[in-house]
Amino acid sequence: MASSGKSELVVLANRLPVRKVDTGPSGDQWATSPGGLVSALAPILRERGGSWVGWPGDTGEAPKPFTHDGIRNVPVGLTSGELEAFYYGFCNRTIWPLFHDAVRPPEFHRRWWWPYVEMNSRFASAAAKRLSEDGTAWVHDYQLMLAPQMIRMKKPGARIGFFLHIPWPPEELFAQIPWRRQIVEGLLAADVVGFQTKLAAINFARAARRLTEATGSDSELRYRGRKVLVRAFPISIDTERYEQLAESETVLERVLSLREMLGPERRVILGVDRLDYTKGIDVRLRSFEELLSRGTVSASNTVFVQVAVPSREQVDEYTHERESIERVVGRINGAFTEPGRVPVHYLYRSLPVEELVAYYLLADVLMVTPYRDGMNLVAKEYVASRRDGSGVLVLSEFAGAANELRGSLLVNPHDIDGMAQALEAALHLPKAEVGKRMSALRRVVRRHSVFNWADAFLKAVAA
Ligand code: ADQ
Protein backbone atom coordinates (compact mmCIF):
# COMPACT_ATOMS: atom_id res chain seq x y z
CA MET A 1 0.00 0.00 0.00
CA ALA A 2 1.37 3.41 -0.95
CA SER A 3 1.89 5.83 1.97
CA SER A 4 -1.15 7.84 0.82
CA GLY A 5 -3.32 4.81 1.67
CA LYS A 6 -3.97 4.44 -2.05
CA SER A 7 -3.35 1.26 -3.99
CA GLU A 8 -0.96 0.78 -6.81
CA LEU A 9 -3.24 -1.96 -8.20
CA VAL A 10 -7.03 -1.98 -8.09
CA VAL A 11 -9.05 -4.85 -9.52
CA LEU A 12 -12.67 -4.25 -10.49
CA ALA A 13 -14.96 -7.23 -11.04
CA ASN A 14 -18.68 -7.77 -10.69
CA ARG A 15 -18.17 -9.87 -7.55
CA LEU A 16 -15.76 -9.46 -4.66
CA PRO A 17 -13.27 -12.31 -4.21
CA VAL A 18 -15.05 -13.22 -0.94
CA ARG A 19 -18.52 -14.29 0.05
CA LYS A 20 -20.33 -13.73 3.30
CA VAL A 21 -20.58 -16.94 5.31
CA ASP A 22 -22.06 -15.59 8.52
CA THR A 23 -23.08 -12.45 10.33
CA GLY A 24 -22.31 -12.77 14.01
CA PRO A 25 -21.95 -10.42 17.01
CA SER A 26 -18.42 -9.58 15.81
CA GLY A 27 -19.72 -8.55 12.38
CA ASP A 28 -19.76 -10.17 8.96
CA GLN A 29 -17.63 -13.27 8.41
CA TRP A 30 -16.16 -13.74 4.94
CA ALA A 31 -14.58 -16.65 3.10
CA THR A 32 -12.47 -16.49 -0.05
CA SER A 33 -14.47 -17.60 -3.10
CA PRO A 34 -13.14 -20.57 -5.01
CA GLY A 35 -12.00 -20.07 -8.59
CA GLY A 36 -8.99 -19.50 -10.79
CA LEU A 37 -9.30 -15.73 -11.13
CA VAL A 38 -9.24 -15.18 -7.38
CA SER A 39 -6.34 -17.57 -6.81
CA ALA A 40 -4.35 -15.93 -9.63
CA LEU A 41 -4.89 -12.36 -8.51
CA ALA A 42 -4.79 -12.83 -4.72
CA PRO A 43 -0.98 -13.23 -4.43
CA ILE A 44 -0.40 -10.25 -6.75
CA LEU A 45 -2.79 -8.07 -4.77
CA ARG A 46 -1.25 -9.13 -1.47
CA GLU A 47 2.24 -8.39 -2.72
CA ARG A 48 1.32 -5.01 -4.18
CA GLY A 49 -1.05 -3.98 -1.41
CA GLY A 50 -3.91 -3.93 -3.85
CA SER A 51 -7.65 -3.48 -3.52
CA TRP A 52 -10.55 -5.34 -5.12
CA VAL A 53 -13.77 -3.46 -5.92
CA GLY A 54 -16.87 -5.60 -6.36
CA TRP A 55 -20.41 -6.44 -5.33
CA PRO A 56 -20.56 -8.46 -2.09
CA GLY A 57 -23.55 -10.55 -3.22
CA ASP A 58 -26.34 -9.06 -1.07
CA THR A 59 -28.62 -6.20 -2.02
CA GLY A 60 -28.93 -3.17 0.25
CA GLU A 61 -26.32 -1.03 1.84
CA ALA A 62 -22.76 -2.15 1.17
CA PRO A 63 -20.51 -3.06 4.11
CA LYS A 64 -17.55 -0.75 4.78
CA PRO A 65 -14.25 -1.67 3.07
CA PHE A 66 -12.47 -4.46 4.96
CA THR A 67 -9.34 -6.54 4.68
CA HIS A 68 -9.65 -10.29 4.31
CA ASP A 69 -6.69 -12.59 3.82
CA GLY A 70 -4.36 -9.70 3.04
CA ILE A 71 -6.60 -8.11 0.40
CA ARG A 72 -8.49 -4.85 0.75
CA ASN A 73 -12.10 -5.49 -0.27
CA VAL A 74 -14.14 -2.48 -1.38
CA PRO A 75 -17.81 -3.48 -1.55
CA VAL A 76 -20.14 -1.69 -3.99
CA GLY A 77 -23.83 -1.81 -3.05
CA LEU A 78 -26.77 -2.57 -5.33
CA THR A 79 -30.45 -2.17 -4.53
CA SER A 80 -32.74 -5.00 -5.54
CA GLY A 81 -34.11 -2.82 -8.35
CA GLU A 82 -30.58 -2.18 -9.61
CA LEU A 83 -29.77 -5.87 -9.43
CA GLU A 84 -32.84 -6.56 -11.54
CA ALA A 85 -32.14 -3.92 -14.20
CA PHE A 86 -28.33 -3.88 -14.25
CA TYR A 87 -27.41 -7.50 -13.63
CA TYR A 88 -30.36 -9.66 -14.67
CA GLY A 89 -31.46 -7.12 -17.28
CA PHE A 90 -28.69 -5.36 -19.18
CA CYS A 91 -25.84 -7.75 -18.33
CA ASN A 92 -27.62 -11.05 -18.67
CA ARG A 93 -30.47 -10.40 -21.11
CA THR A 94 -28.82 -7.84 -23.38
CA ILE A 95 -25.04 -8.30 -23.38
CA TRP A 96 -24.74 -12.01 -22.55
CA PRO A 97 -26.93 -13.32 -25.41
CA LEU A 98 -25.69 -10.70 -27.90
CA PHE A 99 -22.05 -11.51 -27.20
CA HIS A 100 -22.73 -15.26 -27.51
CA ASP A 101 -23.78 -15.09 -31.15
CA ALA A 102 -27.37 -14.24 -30.18
CA VAL A 103 -28.15 -17.91 -29.44
CA ARG A 104 -31.12 -16.36 -27.63
CA PRO A 105 -32.50 -13.03 -28.87
CA PRO A 106 -30.95 -10.14 -26.91
CA GLU A 107 -33.38 -7.61 -25.45
CA PHE A 108 -32.71 -3.90 -25.76
CA HIS A 109 -34.42 -1.73 -23.14
CA ARG A 110 -33.60 1.88 -22.27
CA ARG A 111 -34.75 1.20 -18.71
CA TRP A 112 -31.86 -1.24 -18.33
CA TRP A 113 -29.20 0.95 -19.95
CA TRP A 114 -29.27 3.76 -17.39
CA PRO A 115 -28.74 1.44 -14.41
CA TYR A 116 -25.80 -0.04 -16.35
CA VAL A 117 -24.28 3.45 -16.69
CA GLU A 118 -25.01 4.19 -13.04
CA MET A 119 -23.46 0.95 -11.76
CA ASN A 120 -20.35 1.41 -13.90
CA SER A 121 -19.98 4.89 -12.49
CA ARG A 122 -20.37 3.60 -8.93
CA PHE A 123 -17.67 0.95 -9.45
CA ALA A 124 -15.38 3.45 -11.20
CA SER A 125 -15.73 6.04 -8.41
CA ALA A 126 -14.99 3.45 -5.73
CA ALA A 127 -11.91 2.35 -7.68
CA ALA A 128 -10.68 5.88 -8.40
CA LYS A 129 -10.87 6.71 -4.69
CA ARG A 130 -8.47 3.85 -3.98
CA LEU A 131 -6.15 4.25 -6.93
CA SER A 132 -2.89 6.21 -6.73
CA GLU A 133 -2.36 8.78 -9.51
CA ASP A 134 -0.14 6.51 -11.57
CA GLY A 135 -1.54 3.20 -10.29
CA THR A 136 -3.02 0.36 -12.33
CA ALA A 137 -6.71 -0.49 -12.61
CA TRP A 138 -7.61 -3.91 -13.98
CA VAL A 139 -11.27 -4.01 -15.00
CA HIS A 140 -12.95 -7.36 -15.60
CA ASP A 141 -15.71 -8.40 -17.90
CA TYR A 142 -18.92 -7.38 -19.57
CA GLN A 143 -20.59 -5.92 -16.49
CA LEU A 144 -18.06 -3.06 -16.44
CA MET A 145 -17.38 -2.02 -20.03
CA LEU A 146 -17.91 1.70 -19.34
CA ALA A 147 -15.69 1.76 -16.26
CA PRO A 148 -12.32 2.27 -18.05
CA GLN A 149 -13.47 5.62 -19.45
CA MET A 150 -14.98 6.68 -16.12
CA ILE A 151 -11.74 5.86 -14.30
CA ARG A 152 -9.68 7.64 -16.98
CA MET A 153 -11.66 10.84 -16.41
CA LYS A 154 -10.80 10.79 -12.72
CA LYS A 155 -7.24 9.42 -13.03
CA PRO A 156 -5.74 10.53 -16.35
CA GLY A 157 -2.28 9.25 -15.36
CA ALA A 158 -3.39 5.72 -14.42
CA ARG A 159 -2.60 2.57 -16.40
CA ILE A 160 -5.89 0.85 -17.20
CA GLY A 161 -6.37 -2.71 -18.44
CA PHE A 162 -9.65 -4.35 -19.39
CA PHE A 163 -10.17 -8.08 -19.89
CA LEU A 164 -13.32 -9.57 -21.41
CA HIS A 165 -14.02 -13.13 -20.23
CA ILE A 166 -16.72 -13.74 -22.83
CA PRO A 167 -16.51 -13.53 -26.65
CA TRP A 168 -16.75 -10.27 -28.58
CA PRO A 169 -19.35 -10.75 -31.31
CA PRO A 170 -18.90 -10.23 -35.05
CA GLU A 171 -19.31 -6.67 -36.26
CA GLU A 172 -22.79 -7.06 -37.70
CA LEU A 173 -24.17 -8.56 -34.49
CA PHE A 174 -22.55 -5.99 -32.24
CA ALA A 175 -23.95 -3.26 -34.47
CA GLN A 176 -27.46 -4.14 -33.20
CA ILE A 177 -26.99 -2.70 -29.74
CA PRO A 178 -28.28 0.87 -29.49
CA TRP A 179 -25.45 1.88 -27.12
CA ARG A 180 -22.67 0.39 -29.25
CA ARG A 181 -20.62 3.59 -29.53
CA GLN A 182 -20.73 4.30 -25.79
CA ILE A 183 -19.56 0.76 -25.02
CA VAL A 184 -16.65 0.88 -27.45
CA GLU A 185 -15.62 4.35 -26.22
CA GLY A 186 -15.82 3.09 -22.65
CA LEU A 187 -13.26 0.41 -23.50
CA LEU A 188 -11.00 2.56 -25.67
CA ALA A 189 -10.02 4.58 -22.60
CA ALA A 190 -8.02 1.54 -21.46
CA ASP A 191 -4.34 1.07 -22.39
CA VAL A 192 -4.90 -2.63 -23.00
CA VAL A 193 -8.15 -4.30 -24.05
CA GLY A 194 -7.68 -8.04 -23.69
CA PHE A 195 -9.77 -10.90 -25.07
CA GLN A 196 -9.80 -14.69 -24.86
CA THR A 197 -9.14 -15.15 -28.59
CA LYS A 198 -7.60 -13.39 -31.53
CA LEU A 199 -10.95 -13.46 -33.31
CA ALA A 200 -12.60 -11.52 -30.48
CA ALA A 201 -9.76 -8.97 -30.55
CA ILE A 202 -10.20 -8.51 -34.31
CA ASN A 203 -13.98 -8.16 -33.95
CA PHE A 204 -13.45 -5.45 -31.34
CA ALA A 205 -10.86 -3.55 -33.38
CA ARG A 206 -13.22 -3.54 -36.36
CA ALA A 207 -16.12 -2.27 -34.26
CA ALA A 208 -13.87 0.45 -32.84
CA ARG A 209 -12.76 1.65 -36.28
CA ARG A 210 -16.28 1.56 -37.61
CA LEU A 211 -18.05 3.25 -34.72
CA THR A 212 -15.49 5.75 -33.39
CA GLU A 213 -12.60 7.86 -34.72
CA ALA A 214 -10.14 5.11 -33.69
CA THR A 215 -7.58 4.23 -36.36
CA GLY A 216 -4.86 1.62 -36.58
CA SER A 217 -4.48 -2.12 -36.92
CA ASP A 218 -6.35 -5.07 -35.41
CA SER A 219 -3.76 -5.26 -32.63
CA GLU A 220 -3.02 -1.59 -31.96
CA LEU A 221 -5.45 1.28 -32.19
CA ARG A 222 -4.90 5.01 -31.84
CA TYR A 223 -7.70 6.84 -30.13
CA ARG A 224 -7.73 10.49 -29.05
CA GLY A 225 -3.94 10.69 -29.06
CA ARG A 226 -3.47 7.50 -27.04
CA LYS A 227 -2.32 4.02 -28.01
CA VAL A 228 -4.64 1.11 -27.19
CA LEU A 229 -3.23 -2.39 -27.34
CA VAL A 230 -5.85 -4.95 -28.46
CA ARG A 231 -4.74 -8.53 -27.88
CA ALA A 232 -5.69 -12.07 -26.99
CA PHE A 233 -4.70 -13.29 -23.53
CA PRO A 234 -6.23 -16.79 -23.31
CA ILE A 235 -7.10 -17.46 -19.67
CA SER A 236 -6.14 -20.70 -17.97
CA ILE A 237 -6.41 -22.51 -14.64
CA ASP A 238 -4.25 -23.19 -11.59
CA THR A 239 -2.90 -26.28 -13.34
CA GLU A 240 -0.77 -27.53 -10.45
CA ARG A 241 -3.72 -27.42 -8.08
CA TYR A 242 -5.72 -29.77 -10.30
CA GLU A 243 -2.72 -32.05 -10.74
CA GLN A 244 -2.30 -32.22 -6.98
CA LEU A 245 -5.98 -32.81 -6.33
CA ALA A 246 -5.93 -35.61 -8.88
CA GLU A 247 -3.46 -37.57 -6.77
CA SER A 248 -4.86 -36.71 -3.35
CA GLU A 249 -6.11 -39.56 -1.24
CA THR A 250 -9.58 -38.06 -0.70
CA VAL A 251 -10.12 -37.76 -4.43
CA LEU A 252 -8.76 -41.21 -5.27
CA GLU A 253 -10.97 -42.83 -2.61
CA ARG A 254 -13.95 -40.99 -4.01
CA VAL A 255 -13.14 -42.22 -7.51
CA LEU A 256 -13.22 -45.80 -6.27
CA SER A 257 -16.54 -45.44 -4.51
CA LEU A 258 -18.16 -43.56 -7.42
CA ARG A 259 -16.92 -46.20 -9.85
CA GLU A 260 -18.43 -48.92 -7.69
CA MET A 261 -21.77 -47.10 -7.58
CA LEU A 262 -21.94 -46.23 -11.26
CA GLY A 263 -20.93 -49.75 -12.31
CA PRO A 264 -17.25 -50.66 -12.72
CA GLU A 265 -17.83 -52.16 -16.15
CA ARG A 266 -19.39 -49.03 -17.64
CA ARG A 267 -17.69 -46.35 -19.73
CA VAL A 268 -18.30 -42.87 -18.33
CA ILE A 269 -19.14 -39.79 -20.41
CA LEU A 270 -19.14 -36.53 -18.46
CA GLY A 271 -20.50 -33.01 -18.85
CA VAL A 272 -19.82 -30.24 -16.28
CA ASP A 273 -21.25 -26.76 -16.74
CA ARG A 274 -22.96 -23.80 -15.24
CA LEU A 275 -26.51 -24.38 -16.44
CA ASP A 276 -26.53 -21.91 -19.31
CA TYR A 277 -28.17 -22.01 -22.73
CA THR A 278 -24.83 -21.22 -24.35
CA LYS A 279 -23.24 -24.45 -23.09
CA GLY A 280 -24.98 -26.90 -25.43
CA ILE A 281 -25.96 -29.34 -22.66
CA ASP A 282 -29.14 -30.39 -24.48
CA VAL A 283 -27.37 -31.11 -27.72
CA ARG A 284 -24.72 -33.35 -26.19
CA LEU A 285 -27.41 -35.37 -24.40
CA ARG A 286 -29.21 -35.73 -27.70
CA SER A 287 -26.07 -37.04 -29.37
CA PHE A 288 -25.86 -39.66 -26.60
CA GLU A 289 -29.54 -40.47 -27.14
CA GLU A 290 -28.74 -40.98 -30.81
CA LEU A 291 -26.12 -43.61 -29.94
CA LEU A 292 -28.51 -45.33 -27.54
CA SER A 293 -31.24 -45.48 -30.21
CA ARG A 294 -28.83 -46.93 -32.75
CA GLY A 295 -27.73 -49.54 -30.20
CA THR A 296 -24.11 -48.35 -30.46
CA VAL A 297 -24.10 -48.00 -26.66
CA SER A 298 -26.49 -49.19 -23.96
CA ALA A 299 -27.24 -48.32 -20.36
CA SER A 300 -25.48 -51.50 -19.28
CA ASN A 301 -22.14 -50.52 -20.79
CA THR A 302 -22.19 -46.70 -20.75
CA VAL A 303 -23.32 -43.93 -18.40
CA PHE A 304 -23.56 -40.20 -19.04
CA VAL A 305 -23.03 -38.02 -15.95
CA GLN A 306 -24.13 -34.42 -16.39
CA VAL A 307 -23.33 -32.01 -13.58
CA ALA A 308 -25.00 -28.61 -13.90
CA VAL A 309 -24.57 -25.75 -11.43
CA PRO A 310 -27.69 -23.65 -10.92
CA SER A 311 -27.14 -20.24 -12.49
CA ARG A 312 -29.17 -17.03 -13.06
CA GLU A 313 -32.41 -18.76 -12.11
CA GLN A 314 -34.20 -15.38 -12.05
CA VAL A 315 -33.87 -15.13 -15.84
CA ASP A 316 -36.67 -16.88 -17.78
CA GLU A 317 -34.38 -18.25 -20.49
CA TYR A 318 -32.44 -20.13 -17.81
CA THR A 319 -35.54 -21.74 -16.30
CA HIS A 320 -36.68 -22.72 -19.79
CA GLU A 321 -33.26 -24.19 -20.51
CA ARG A 322 -33.37 -26.17 -17.29
CA GLU A 323 -36.81 -27.53 -18.13
CA SER A 324 -35.70 -28.48 -21.60
CA ILE A 325 -32.61 -30.32 -20.30
CA GLU A 326 -34.69 -32.12 -17.71
CA ARG A 327 -37.16 -33.20 -20.39
CA VAL A 328 -34.35 -34.70 -22.49
CA VAL A 329 -32.89 -36.48 -19.43
CA GLY A 330 -36.35 -37.84 -18.54
CA ARG A 331 -36.97 -38.97 -22.11
CA ILE A 332 -33.62 -40.77 -22.38
CA ASN A 333 -33.93 -42.43 -18.98
CA GLY A 334 -37.54 -43.39 -19.68
CA ALA A 335 -36.65 -45.06 -22.93
CA PHE A 336 -33.26 -46.65 -22.17
CA THR A 337 -33.01 -47.48 -18.45
CA GLU A 338 -32.25 -51.14 -17.79
CA PRO A 339 -32.78 -52.81 -14.40
CA GLY A 340 -30.32 -51.11 -12.03
CA ARG A 341 -28.71 -49.13 -14.86
CA VAL A 342 -29.84 -45.56 -15.57
CA PRO A 343 -28.17 -44.10 -18.68
CA VAL A 344 -28.07 -40.45 -17.57
CA HIS A 345 -27.15 -39.29 -14.07
CA TYR A 346 -28.14 -35.66 -13.83
CA LEU A 347 -26.85 -33.60 -10.89
CA TYR A 348 -28.31 -30.10 -10.67
CA ARG A 349 -26.02 -28.64 -8.05
CA SER A 350 -22.58 -27.24 -7.37
CA LEU A 351 -19.98 -29.77 -6.26
CA PRO A 352 -16.91 -29.35 -4.04
CA VAL A 353 -13.78 -29.27 -6.18
CA GLU A 354 -12.58 -32.66 -4.84
CA GLU A 355 -15.80 -34.27 -6.03
CA LEU A 356 -15.50 -32.53 -9.40
CA VAL A 357 -11.96 -33.83 -9.88
CA ALA A 358 -13.13 -37.34 -8.90
CA TYR A 359 -15.62 -37.12 -11.79
CA TYR A 360 -12.89 -35.84 -14.12
CA LEU A 361 -10.83 -38.92 -13.22
CA LEU A 362 -13.76 -41.25 -13.80
CA ALA A 363 -14.65 -39.87 -17.20
CA ASP A 364 -13.42 -41.75 -20.27
CA VAL A 365 -14.83 -38.89 -22.32
CA LEU A 366 -15.54 -35.27 -21.38
CA MET A 367 -18.02 -33.44 -23.60
CA VAL A 368 -17.67 -29.65 -23.74
CA THR A 369 -20.05 -28.53 -26.44
CA PRO A 370 -20.98 -24.84 -26.13
CA TYR A 371 -22.62 -22.98 -29.00
CA ARG A 372 -20.24 -20.18 -28.06
CA ASP A 373 -17.93 -19.80 -25.06
CA GLY A 374 -15.23 -17.24 -24.22
CA MET A 375 -12.75 -19.94 -23.19
CA ASN A 376 -14.19 -22.83 -21.10
CA LEU A 377 -12.15 -23.77 -18.09
CA VAL A 378 -13.83 -27.14 -17.52
CA ALA A 379 -11.97 -28.47 -20.58
CA LYS A 380 -8.64 -27.35 -19.12
CA GLU A 381 -9.44 -28.68 -15.63
CA TYR A 382 -10.18 -32.11 -17.11
CA VAL A 383 -6.89 -32.16 -19.00
CA ALA A 384 -4.92 -31.04 -15.93
CA SER A 385 -6.53 -33.81 -13.85
CA ARG A 386 -5.66 -36.62 -16.33
CA ARG A 387 -2.15 -37.23 -15.09
CA ASP A 388 -2.00 -40.75 -16.52
CA GLY A 389 -2.52 -39.44 -20.06
CA SER A 390 -5.85 -41.19 -20.63
CA GLY A 391 -9.23 -39.63 -21.43
CA VAL A 392 -10.72 -38.03 -24.53
CA LEU A 393 -11.91 -34.45 -24.81
CA VAL A 394 -14.77 -33.75 -27.21
CA LEU A 395 -14.74 -29.98 -27.68
CA SER A 396 -16.88 -27.49 -29.55
CA GLU A 397 -15.05 -25.52 -32.19
CA PHE A 398 -16.96 -22.48 -30.87
CA ALA A 399 -15.25 -22.53 -27.45
CA GLY A 400 -12.23 -20.24 -27.10
CA ALA A 401 -10.36 -23.27 -25.74
CA ALA A 402 -10.54 -24.89 -29.19
CA ASN A 403 -7.78 -22.55 -30.40
CA GLU A 404 -5.31 -24.10 -27.99
CA LEU A 405 -6.63 -27.60 -27.25
CA ARG A 406 -5.94 -29.06 -30.66
CA GLY A 407 -5.60 -32.61 -29.31
CA SER A 408 -9.34 -32.74 -28.68
CA LEU A 409 -12.00 -34.09 -31.03
CA LEU A 410 -13.50 -30.88 -32.36
CA VAL A 411 -17.24 -30.80 -33.03
CA ASN A 412 -19.90 -28.45 -34.35
CA PRO A 413 -22.65 -28.40 -31.69
CA HIS A 414 -25.25 -27.51 -34.34
CA ASP A 415 -24.64 -30.86 -36.06
CA ILE A 416 -26.19 -33.69 -34.04
CA ASP A 417 -25.02 -36.39 -36.46
CA GLY A 418 -21.47 -35.06 -36.35
CA MET A 419 -21.61 -34.93 -32.56
CA ALA A 420 -22.91 -38.51 -32.32
CA GLN A 421 -20.14 -39.61 -34.67
CA ALA A 422 -17.50 -37.82 -32.61
CA LEU A 423 -18.84 -39.32 -29.38
CA GLU A 424 -18.76 -42.79 -30.89
CA ALA A 425 -15.23 -42.18 -32.15
CA ALA A 426 -14.19 -40.91 -28.70
CA LEU A 427 -15.49 -44.09 -27.07
CA HIS A 428 -13.60 -46.30 -29.52
CA LEU A 429 -10.38 -44.37 -30.02
CA PRO A 430 -7.35 -46.73 -29.90
CA LYS A 431 -5.37 -46.42 -26.69
CA ALA A 432 -2.25 -45.12 -28.45
CA GLU A 433 -4.24 -42.37 -30.14
CA VAL A 434 -5.88 -41.42 -26.83
CA GLY A 435 -2.44 -41.14 -25.22
CA LYS A 436 -1.05 -39.09 -28.07
CA ARG A 437 -3.92 -36.63 -28.00
CA MET A 438 -3.98 -36.29 -24.22
CA SER A 439 -0.25 -35.68 -23.98
CA ALA A 440 -0.58 -32.92 -26.60
CA LEU A 441 -3.39 -31.41 -24.52
CA ARG A 442 -1.42 -31.71 -21.31
CA ARG A 443 1.57 -29.93 -22.80
CA VAL A 444 -0.62 -26.89 -23.49
CA VAL A 445 -2.25 -26.77 -20.07
CA ARG A 446 0.99 -27.37 -18.18
CA ARG A 447 2.83 -24.69 -20.12
CA HIS A 448 0.21 -22.09 -19.51
CA SER A 449 -1.45 -21.52 -16.13
CA VAL A 450 -3.68 -18.73 -14.86
CA PHE A 451 -0.59 -17.27 -13.16
CA ASN A 452 1.20 -16.86 -16.50
CA TRP A 453 -1.99 -15.30 -17.84
CA ALA A 454 -2.23 -12.66 -15.09
CA ASP A 455 1.47 -11.96 -15.39
CA ALA A 456 1.34 -11.48 -19.17
CA PHE A 457 -1.67 -9.19 -18.91
CA LEU A 458 -0.19 -6.98 -16.20
CA LYS A 459 3.12 -6.76 -18.05
CA ALA A 460 1.29 -5.57 -21.16
CA VAL A 461 -0.56 -2.96 -19.10
CA ALA A 462 2.69 -1.74 -17.53
CA ALA A 463 4.56 -1.56 -20.87
P1 ADQ B 1 -18.21 -19.69 -17.17
O2 ADQ B 1 -19.23 -19.46 -18.23
O3 ADQ B 1 -18.73 -19.79 -15.81
O4 ADQ B 1 -17.05 -18.57 -17.23
P5 ADQ B 1 -16.17 -21.92 -17.38
O6 ADQ B 1 -14.96 -21.33 -17.99
O7 ADQ B 1 -16.45 -23.29 -17.87
O8 ADQ B 1 -17.49 -21.07 -17.64
O9 ADQ B 1 -15.98 -21.96 -15.82
C10 ADQ B 1 -16.88 -22.65 -15.00
C11 ADQ B 1 -16.24 -22.93 -13.65
O12 ADQ B 1 -17.25 -23.42 -12.81
C13 ADQ B 1 -15.16 -24.01 -13.75
O14 ADQ B 1 -14.06 -23.66 -12.95
C15 ADQ B 1 -15.85 -25.25 -13.20
O16 ADQ B 1 -15.02 -26.15 -12.49
C17 ADQ B 1 -16.88 -24.68 -12.28
N18 ADQ B 1 -18.04 -25.58 -12.25
C19 ADQ B 1 -18.79 -25.94 -13.30
N20 ADQ B 1 -19.74 -26.81 -12.90
C21 ADQ B 1 -19.57 -27.00 -11.59
C22 ADQ B 1 -20.26 -27.77 -10.60
N23 ADQ B 1 -21.33 -28.52 -10.86
N24 ADQ B 1 -19.82 -27.71 -9.34
C25 ADQ B 1 -18.77 -26.93 -9.03
N26 ADQ B 1 -18.10 -26.19 -9.91
C27 ADQ B 1 -18.49 -26.21 -11.18
C28 ADQ B 1 -16.78 -17.39 -18.00
C29 ADQ B 1 -16.79 -17.58 -19.52
C30 ADQ B 1 -15.84 -18.69 -19.92
C31 ADQ B 1 -14.44 -18.40 -19.39
C32 ADQ B 1 -14.47 -18.06 -17.92
C33 ADQ B 1 -13.12 -17.57 -17.41
O34 ADQ B 1 -18.10 -17.85 -19.97
O35 ADQ B 1 -15.81 -18.85 -21.33
O36 ADQ B 1 -13.62 -19.54 -19.58
O37 ADQ B 1 -15.42 -17.03 -17.64
O38 ADQ B 1 -12.65 -16.49 -18.14
How far apart (Å, rounded) are the C-alpha atoms in residues 307 and 349? 7
Q: Using the mean position of ligand 1's atoms as its centre, give its distance from the Cα of residue 140 in Å.
A: 15
Domain assignment present for 2: no
Pick from 173, 83, 77, 233: nearest CA to 372: 173
Q: Using the mean position of ligand 1's atoms as its centre, give its distance from the Cα of residue 167 in Å.
A: 14
DSSP 161-230: EEE-SS----HHHHTTSTTHHHHHHHHHTSSEEEESSHHHHHHHHHHHHHHSS-EE-SSEEEETTEEEEE
How far apart (Å, rounded) are the C-alpha atoms in residues 363 and 266? 10
The residues, ordered by sequence, that sit 6+ positions from 85 with a Cβ below 8 Å of its Cβ are 111, 112, 115, 116
In contact, 73 and 67? CB cutoff 8 Å: yes
pLDDT score at 37: 87
Q: Is the pLDDT of residue 7 over 80?
A: no
Q: Using the mean position of ligand 1's atoms as its centre, give its distance from the Cα of residue 211 in Å.
A: 32
How far apart (Å, rounded) are the C-alpha atoms in residues 237 and 55? 23
Say whether both 265 and 214 belong to one domain: no
Provide the Cα torsion 166, 168, 172, 177; round to 10°: 70
Report the nearest atom of ligand 1 relative to the CA of 307.
Answer: 23
Say whether both 352 and 394 belong to one domain: yes
Say whether both 41 and 129 belong to one domain: yes
Pocket test for ligand 1, best of 351, 377, 450, 457 (most atoms within 8 A of CB): 377
93 DSSP assignment: I
Residues in the chain: 463
Q: Is the pLDDT of residue 331 over 70?
A: yes
Pocket test for ligand 1, best of 277, 321, 375 (most atoms within 8 A of CB): 375
Say whether both 458 and 376 belong to one domain: no
Ligand 1, atom 8: closest residue by C-alpha: 376
Domain assignment present for 1: no
pLDDT score at 3: 45
pLDDT score at 4: 57
**pLDDT tens per residue, range 56-99:** 999 989 999 999 998 999 999 999 999 999 999 999 999 999 99
In contact, 388 and 361? CB cutoff 8 Å: no
Report the nearest atom of ligand 1 relative to the CA of 399.
Answer: 35
Say whether both 145 and 22 belong to one domain: yes
Q: Using the mean position of ligand 1's atoms as its centre, give its distance from the Cα of residue 274 in Å.
A: 6
Ligand 1, atom 27: closest residue by C-alpha: 350
Say whether both 226 and 148 belong to one domain: yes
Name the pTM for this structure. Answer: 0.96
Pocket test for ligand 1, best of 272, 311, 354 (most atoms within 8 A of CB): 272
Pick from 157, 143, 131: nearest CA to 74: 131
Q: Using the mean position of ligand 1's atoms as its centre, give its distance from the Cα of residue 36 in Å.
A: 9
| pLDDT band at 1; cut points 50, 70, 90 | very low
Say whether both 157 and 297 belong to one domain: no
Assign residue 186 the CATH number of its domain: 3.40.50.2000
Q: Using the mean position of ligand 1's atoms as its centre, give its distance from the Cα of residue 224 in Å.
A: 37
In contact, 266 and 367? CB cutoff 8 Å: no
Q: Using the mean position of ligand 1's atoms as its centre, give its distance from the Cα of residue 5 in Å.
A: 35
Residue numbers of the domain that contains 75: 7-235+451-462
Pocket test for ligand 1, best of 274, 325, 351, 361 (most atoms within 8 A of CB): 274
Say whether both 215 and 279 belong to one domain: no
Say whether both 200 and 52 belong to one domain: yes
What residue ranges line ligand 1, CB within 6 angstroms? 165-166, 235, 272-274, 307, 309, 350-351, 356, 373-378, 381
How far apart (Å, rounded) are the C-alpha atoms in residues 13 and 142? 9
Mean pLDDT calculated for residue range 97-120: 98
> What's the domain count of the chain?
2
Say whether both 204 and 246 belong to one domain: no
Say whether both 243 and 219 belong to one domain: no
Say whether both 261 and 210 belong to one domain: no
pLDDT score at 348: 97
Report the nearest atom of ligand 1 relative to the CA of 276.
Answer: 2
**pLDDT tens per residue, range 186-219:** 999 999 999 999 999 999 999 999 999 999 999 9
Q: Using the mean position of ligand 1's atoms as its centre, give its distance from the Cα of residue 215 in Å.
A: 35
End-to-end CA distance of the chain: 21
